[in-house]
Amino acid sequence: MKPSERGWTIVLVGAWNQAIFNPSWILKYLFGEEGEHQVEIGVALGADERMFTFSDQGVAFKISPRRISIKPLELSEGVMQQANTCAENLLTRLQHTPVTAAGVNFLFTSEGDGDEFRETFSLNDGGSIEDAGLSTAETKIVRKFSGITDHGNPDLILTISRDEETLATLADFNYHYTCETPADLGAAIHQSFLGLKAHAESVLQAFGIELEELNDDQD
């Protein structure tokens, strides 16, 4: 399996004042920088969202009243750490904002022959499905795990899905934190991006999944 850049994010859930967030404020208080930088500003159609992409820093933000998503533009350790620092700085700067949760997310994909998670997908209801005159288009298995004692003690919600026609497989990791204050949430996610990446990889390896190497030169 290989990492899929689109699913690697840190998500902060709270009551966010969108008026605060503009490129100058983000540069100064989240990146600790000032001056002119390359930034792309976008608005999502049909949603109350604002999007800022900071190419020089390698980090993108999607901001809505209830959620802030922080996404590295490449999966290098340096950019991942930059995204993690932005999330911590945001929680420090906006310490009076009501918050409820955070998620640290990873997505891995495979276009292989369906060997990944073979035992996991070995369900015993094929005969019943055929008797009902149905065919399976996609199989999705969701599990919630606890007992992760490192990196703020999050729960892990792991979703494994397979397209039954193409056998393309996804492994979607959501490390979920529940906290009542920005300070507690910031402490929980402190340097968690890289640490939980290693945890996600160890889970896949426990399933016998071979992973493509992730290095600082990967886009």
Query: With contact defined as beta carbons under 8 Å apart, do 136 and 33 qualify?
Result: no
Positive or negative torsion for Cα 112, 115, 117, 121: positive
178 in a structural domain: yes
Interior/surface letters 63-93, b for 16+ CB within 10 angstroms, e for the rest: beeeebbbbbbebbeebbebbbbbbbbbbee
Q: Terminal CA-to-CA distance of the chain, rounded, Å?
A: 16
213 in a structural domain: no
The backbone torsions φ and ψ at residue 86, rounded to the nearest 5 degrees and listed phi first, read: -60, -45
Query: With contact defined as beta carbons under 8 Å apart, do 89 and 14 qualify?
Result: no
162 in a structural domain: yes
How many domains, the chain? 1
Q: Would you give per-residue pLDDT tens digits along the chain (219 residues)?
A: 999 999 999 999 999 998 999 999 999 999 998 767 678 887 666 568 889 999 999 999 999 999 999 999 999 999 999 999 999 999 999 999 999 999 999 999 998 766 788 888 888 887 888 889 888 899 999 999 999 988 899 999 999 999 988 889 999 999 999 998 999 999 999 999 999 999 999 999 999 998 887 655 444
215 in a structural domain: no
Q: What residues does 70 pair with on adjacent strands? A: 10, 61
Q: Residue 193: which domain range?
A: 2-206
Alpha-carbon distance 61 to 197, whole Å? 20
Alpha-carbon distance 176 to 185, whole Å? 11
118 in a structural domain: yes
**C-alpha atoms less than 13 angstroms from C-alpha of 120 in its C-beta half-sphere:** 22
132 in a structural domain: yes
14 in a structural domain: yes
